[in-house]
Structure 1
Amino acid sequence: MFQRTEFEGGQAGGSAALSIDSAIPRFGEALRAPVSGAAKGDPGWRDKLAQLDLIVDLGSQIGTKTWWRGTATCALLCGATLLLAPGVKAIPTAAPVMDQTQWDEARAQAITPLAFGGDTGRRMAATEAVEPLANMPERPHIELSATLGRGDAFARVLERAGVAPDEANELATMIGAVVALDDVRPGTVMDIVLGRRPNRTVPRPVDALAFRARFDLKIEVARVDGALRVNPIAIAVDETPMRIRGRVGSSLYRSARAAGAPPSAIQEYLRAIGTQMSVSGDIGANATFDMVVEHRRAETGEVEIGRLLYAGVERGERRTQLLRWSAGGQDQWFEASGVGRSTGSWLMPVPGRISSGFGYRRHPILGYRRMHTGLDIAAGHGTPIRAAAAGTINFSGRNGGYGNYVRINHGNGLQTAYAHMSRIAASNGAHVSQGDVIGYVGSTGLSTGAHLHYEMLRNGRKVDPRSVSFIQQAQLTGDELRRFRATLANLLEIEPGAAMARRENSEGGETAANARSAGASTRS
Structure 2
Amino acid sequence: MFRPQEAEEQGMAPARRMAAGRAASFANPAAFARPVACGSAVLDLTELAPPADCNPGNWRERLARADLVPDLAEDIGSRRWWRGMGTLLGLIVLALGFWPDFARLDAAPAMAVDAASAEEFRAQSIMPLARGGESGRRMGPTRAYREVPFVPERAEIELTSVLSPGDSLARLFQRAGAASDDAARAEALIAAQAEQGGIAPGTRVSFVLGPRRAPGEPRPLVGAQLRARFDLALALHRVGAALALQKLPIAVDTTPLRIRGTVGDSLYRSARAAGAPPQTIQEYLQALDAHISLEGDVQPGDSFDLVFAMKRAVTGETEVGNLLYAGLDRGSAPVAELLRWGNDGAFYSASSFTTESWVQGGAGMLLPVNGRVTSSYGQRFHPILGYSRMHAGVDFGARWGSPIVATAAGVVSFAGYHGGHGNYVRLEHGGGLGTGYGHMSRIAVAPGERVSAGEVIGYVGSTGLSTGPHLHYEMYRSGHTVNPLGTAFATVTRQVDTRDLDAFRAKLVQMKSLRTGAALAAAPQKIQRIAMR
TM category (shorter chain) comes to 0.5 to 0.7
Residue number in structure 2 paired with 1:321: 337
Q: 1:285-337 deviations in whole A, cap 9, x for unaligned?
A: 232111012222222222222211100111342442111122xx322112225
The question of whether the paired residues in 1 share the 8 Å contact of 2:361 and 2:487 is answered with no
Residue number in structure 2 paired with 1:276: 291
In 2 relative to 1, CA 72–228 (structure 1 residues): closer, same or farther, beyond 3 Å? same
The question of whether the paired residues in 2 share the 8 Å contact of 1:61 and 1:67 is answered with yes
AA aligned to 2:225 is: A
How well do the aligned residues superpose, as a CA RMSD in angstroms?
4.8
SS in 2 for 1:305: strand
Q: CA deviation at 1:228?
A: 2.8
1:210 aligns with 2:192: no
Q: CA deviation at 1:229?
A: 3.1
Aligned residues: 347
Q: 1:202-234 deviations in whole A, cap 9, x for unaligned?
A: 321112211111112211223355543323222
Residue number in structure 1 paired with 2:215: 200
Residue number in structure 1 paired with 2:502: 482
1:345 equivalent among 359, 366, 371:
359
In 2 relative to 1, CA 74–155 (structure 1 residues): closer, same or farther, beyond 3 Å? closer
AA aligned to 1:166 is: D
CA distance in 2, matches of 1:239, 1:481: 25
Q: 1:403-441 deviations in whole A, cap 9, x for unaligned?
A: xxxxx9489799xxxxxxxxxxxxxx998679xxxxxxx
1:53 aligns with 2:63: yes
CA distance in 2, matches of 1:191, 1:56: 96
CA distance in 2, matches of 1:388, 1:86: 77
Residue number in structure 1 paired with 2:318: 303
Q: CA deviation at 1:241?
A: 1.6
1:394 equivalent among 353, 356, 376:
376
How high is the TM-score relative to the length of structure 2? 0.53
Q: 1:88-133 deviations in whole A, cap 9, x for unaligned?
A: 666999xxxxxxxxxxxxxxxxxxxxxxxxxxx999xxxxxxxx99
Residue number in structure 2 paired with 1:174: 189
Q: CA deviation at 1:257?
A: 0.8
SS in 2 for 1:330: coil
AA aligned to 2:63 is: D
AA aligned to 1:332 is: A
Residue number in structure 2 paired with 1:491: 511
CA distance in 1, matches of 2:468, 2:87: 82
CA distance in 2, matches of 1:181, 1:313: 38
The question of whether the paired residues in 2 share the 8 Å contact of 1:162 and 1:203 is answered with yes
Where in structure 2 are the equivalents of 1:14-29 lying within 5 Å? none
Unaligned runs of 5+ in 1: 1-36, 94-120, 124-131, 349-385, 397-407, 415-428, 435-457, 512-524
1:331 equivalent among 329, 342, 345:
345
The question of whether the paired residues in 2 share the 8 Å contact of 1:248 and 1:284 is answered with yes
SS in 2 for 1:250: coil
Where in structure 2 are the equivalents of 1:443-454 lying within 5 Å? none
CA distance in 2, matches of 1:48, 1:431: 88
Unaligned runs of 5+ in 2: 1-37, 42-49, 108-129, 133-146, 363-367, 379-392, 396-406, 408-432, 436-466, 473-480, 527-533
Q: CA deviation at 1:269?
A: 0.4
In 2 relative to 1, CA 208–475 (structure 1 residues): closer, same or farther, beyond 3 Å? same
The question of whether the paired residues in 2 share the 8 Å contact of 1:391 and 1:432 is answered with no
Where in structure 2 are the equivalents of 1:437-448 lying within 5 Å? none
The question of whether the paired residues in 2 share the 8 Å contact of 1:222 and 1:229 is answered with yes
Residue number in structure 2 paired with 1:473: 494
In 2 relative to 1, CA 250–347 (structure 1 residues): closer, same or farther, beyond 3 Å? farther
Q: CA deviation at 1:256?
A: 0.7
Q: CA deviation at 1:242?
A: 1.4
CA distance in 2, matches of 1:461, 1:489: 43
The question of whether the paired residues in 2 share the 8 Å contact of 1:241 and 1:292 is answered with yes
1:238 aligns with 2:253: yes
The question of whether the paired residues in 1 share the 8 Å contact of 2:377 and 2:394 is answered with no
Q: 1:324-361 deviations in whole A, cap 9, x for unaligned?
A: 122xx32211222573434563389xxxxxxxxxxxxx
Residue number in structure 2 paired with 1:421: none
Where in structure 2 are the equivalents of 1:63-462 lying within 5 Å? 69=83, 72-73=86-87, 75-80=89-94, 82=96, 135-150=150-165, 152-180=167-195, 182=197, 184-225=199-240, 227-316=242-331, 317-326=333-342, 329-336=343-350, 339-342=353-356, 345-346=359-360, 393-394=375-376, 409=394
SS in 2 for 1:53: helix
AA aligned to 1:75 is: L
In 2 relative to 1, CA 164–496 (structure 1 residues): closer, same or farther, beyond 3 Å? same
Identity percentage of aligned residues: 34
CA distance in 2, matches of 1:66, 1:150: 84
In 2 relative to 1, CA 462–133 (structure 1 residues): closer, same or farther, beyond 3 Å? same
Residue number in structure 2 paired with 1:366: none
The question of whether the paired residues in 2 share the 8 Å contact of 1:253 and 1:266 is answered with yes
The question of whether the paired residues in 2 share the 8 Å contact of 1:347 and 1:389 is answered with no
CA distance in 2, matches of 1:461, 1:70: 81
Q: CA deviation at 1:281?
A: 0.8
